[in-house]
Structure 1
């Protein structure tokens, strides 16, 4: 660190290396050569808040990560409210894992390797077997306290380096080129072919008297992985599709309206259809008289802001920020737009790899990959995909209207993706149609015409001022007529159409929405 850099920069760097906040405060002089600013005039408020005796409290409420503290679990009844997601994952940034391993090996004398590559390519050599096994037997529990202080003073140190090194020694190759390792005490590690690492480090829930995990749409395989054991007993409260539908419609009072038959994978932002989403939200705004709250991907939120779609949105949140959130509990009008399906099947393949299984997209007989609504990962992979996509979308839907008002029966939620669980039957099926470039060109020409707003236009006059021909103009004007935006009369040479404005001031910016419920039932 340079002399002029604030200590906050150093603190952040050491914290990101895996040293806990409490450890930084307790041993600040060892890490930074001085006390932290927050400790110079007395005890840090952060440390003061940590300084309590758990036994003095009957009930503790905390974050998922606090389950790693033995004192908070010891001899207690523990409840997990909702699936913790990736709370117990350590995911090194690109090259961070291999760099940490190399830095560790340069100072670790008990392993016969000095770089990540030498370890990886020679880990199975018989000449090193005894030394490797001796090192593994003396590991401890991989906390920073188990890592020698000499290593902590070394640039590039990472507190998880011993754990990463152990994973590198244990990796087995799966059929889809992911690597998998079990590391004891429920811990697991996986590595993709793109060198993306995930370390799963479950909390020590064996310290608790009993554990209850609450989840409206559980995938038991993932719960068993995240809590580090096969001891979970799964008890369904609602056993049948009919009971589940009754709960959604009668108990929660939800009205679900599905608005597309497309999968709409929105995680990366590459497939976000701003015009279609804008048309839906604009239509909801006009019909309901208020702006819809929205749950979508973070990438979609950013595109909505750039395109003006957010003018039709009340509040919004992205999928990755929903765990534990109650911000929509009093919201009676919501939209869930796009699916949270990650790119390159990352989430499905990662969770499968953590369970030691290889999954890949299935193919048709001609060798082409199944996509969209025909996406198929095989039986095990499909169960995980349902959790990653179907169940997460339903969980998003159920966040609306949890605490309805006195006269409010429950929320109305528009779902703009195909991926709902099969047992959910929407109240309505809508279809969103976006305007073509030609339509937008026609309407702009009319609104900028000298005759606007009370004159009349023929198809020929309109075509002369834009880039499309008379025949296409005629079709587009008839569509506007059917939508009630314009009216027509026939007369003059050739009994031509003469168009007049009715409500083009209200022309929707992005498109229109049609009710296709009856069509979907036939």
Structure 2
């Protein structure tokens, strides 16, 4: 790198004090970015939230804790996983003179919810919680009867009292919805809040909860879901009913009502929101008055309706499946500063989930510096093994023989058991409910895997830290509807071009941010679960990776050859391994072999070129296997020899 003025390509380059990036310099750049983002907002009350875009390997969690420890402001750090919260608490104790406080959670802190007072109470609280009731509301509502409130406050409430005065608190993204947690604090979101602030009703739940709400409101002119749909669908014919319902629902600051969750006949906190939304969605949406011009397109092309409600909630209605999604972003207007930390950030998603009119995105490392850091400093070698996207979420496109062969080939190449990441459906199909294809030994493959995880259980996970060989099998894809609903909540109409597929898949949105969020970004997150702080070789069996990661691939996918073995070839390998050498005629005549002599001879010649079998010089030739216990038995795998030198970077 050149001198400072020429090294201003990114924050990491500016902080580095030598010609090459170091781990310490990149971590310092991350810390500097977090601190500067907070100071910028403290100095300017009109500044927007800032998201720090930093790779999963650069220690964002630890650096956030260090910044929080040094601030003269009260801080709330919010993150999904309990393990990450524990990491923050441990890091703070190393750098912080005071005692950080973990915000109590219902499941971990309340004895009744943990089941210490019987399953009946535990199940009852779980049911109310599923209907949207807050833990604090439930404790106050049932104060006289909850076992954990017998003569004193439940530990959940007692610990909550200590939170407000603490200098640094650690909790989950849901705690951002509590004014007493975020008011006058610097709030740091460690990773994307994801769907934390969303409530989704399928068709049956929607009808049940709406009917329960209406049946208990004598002052309303309707009393069930079917009548609401009738009124909503004919605004002109039922104008008085519309006005009565709207006036009743808006007689307060918020449409959601905690009391709805504890009705014995079934209710939900967001049932009033759903009623109001259904009235709006069948008429002109409130969104049209707020500057959005895509509502008609949503209705006609995507078959979705959208509305922004008076209390700030956003709703999307799926016309195909009669499904309603409500998003109620937290009110962060009273915070001192808001900073997000993300390894694969999408600006549109952060903006909507934080309820912000605008945000800024700061990158710690530019693409060139990312490449230098990951391949030269950390020591990653990325090997892409296919040019196909391989959508594995449904399990429909899983190729068992190719995948088994790749696993065995990688294990042989590195003389170790690799760990694996794939979709839940692929994991089930490959290892739990594999097909009974002849001469395919699933147990033999699983014996060569150290550990496996699926995409849905990865974000912020450090379970594969230090693992030096990993395999990514296939890419995730949640289905068109999930992408369309996510896009709709952010103001975009996503309509799939049916002529496109794979890496060319197109939803009509420039740069495809929502598709990449669900697919390429999740693959990148999975790839960087391995190694992290130490060198690792990662085999990526999908082409669905971000451009910045594609630039780091050490071996072109065309140099990796995976040829699946047909049943006849597998039967020959099986016979040579179990029954020993023989001529082509002898081998073909064995009960285990499923092909004739000519096909057997052709297979043996191919296996000889592969180096799997050898023959003597007699006539007819006698064929025997070479280390058949180690040869991938479902596919022939050719990993380039140059990979060995690439792996030693």
Report the TM-score, using the length of structure 2 for normalisation.
0.70
Q: Distance in 2 between matches of 1:110 and 1:252?
A: 66
Equivalence for 1:413: 538
Aligned equivalent of 1:20: 134
CA contact (8 A) 1:347 1:388 kept: no
Instruction: Name the residue aligned to 2:389.
Output: 263
How large is the Cα RMSD of the aligned pairs? Answer: 2.6
Provide Cα deviations, 1:340-387, integer angstroms capped at 9, x if missing partner: 1113x1332111121243222214xxxxx3222332212347221122
Asked if the contact 2:256/2:271 (under 8 Å) is kept, the reply is no
Listed as ranges, the gaps of 5+ residues in structure 2 are 1-117, 286-298, 433-441, 643-649
2:626 to 496, 502, 517: 502
User: What does 1:14-413 correspond to in 2, within 5 Å?
Assistant: 14-28=128-142, 35-40=145-150, 43-55=153-165, 57-123=166-232, 124-125=235-236, 126-145=239-258, 147=259, 152-171=262-281, 173-184=299-310, 186-192=312-318, 193-239=320-366, 241-306=367-432, 307-308=442-443, 309-343=445-479, 345-363=480-498, 369-380=499-510, 382-404=512-534, 410-413=535-538
Deviation at 1:234, TM superposition (A): 2.3
Shift of 1:317: 2.3
User: Counterparts of 2:252 and 2:275 in 1: how far apart (Å)?
Assistant: 11
After superposing the two structures, state which structure 1 stretch, 500-509 or 279-288, moved more. Answer: 500-509
TM-score (norm 1): 0.86
Partner Cα distance (1:92, 1:237) in 2: 39
**Aligned partners of 2:263, 2:516: CA distance in 1, in Å?**
46
- Equivalence for 1:366: none
Distance (whole Å) between structure 1 residues aligned to residue 310 and residue 347 of structure 2: 20
Cα offset for 1:136?
A: 4.0
Q: 2:638 matched to 1:514?
A: yes
| Partner SS for 1:91 | strand
Name the SS for the 2:519 alignment partner: helix
CA distance in 2, matches of 1:321, 1:185: 33
Deviation at 1:154, TM superposition (A): 4.2
In 2: Cα distance, 1:214 partner to 1:61 partner = 15
**1:473-514 Cα deviation digits (max 9, x unpaired):** 12211222123222113543xxx4321233223232332322
Q: Secondary structure at the match of 2:621?
A: strand
User: 1:110: Cα distance to partner?
Assistant: 4.4
Q: How far apart, in 2, do the equivalents of 1:15 and 1:82 lie?
A: 24
For 1:7, the equivalent position in structure 2 comes to: 121
> How has the CA–CA distance of structure 1 residues 379 and 111 changed in structure 2, closer, same or farther, with 3 Å as cutoff?
same
User: SS of the residue aligned with 2:333?
Assistant: helix
CA offset at residue 251 of structure 1? 4.0
What residue in structure 2 maps to residue 407 of structure 1?
Answer: none
For 1:239-287, what per-residue CA distance to the aligned partner results, in whole angstroms no more than 9, with x for missing partners? 4x43332233234432111111221112222222232222222222222
1 CA distance for matches of 2:130 and 2:265? 13
Q: Contact 1:348/1:381 (CA < 8 Å) preserved in 2?
A: no
In structure 2, the CA distance between the partners of 1:53 and 1:87, relative to structure 1 (3 Å rule), is closer
Check the 8 A contact 1:98/1:116 in 2, yes or no: yes
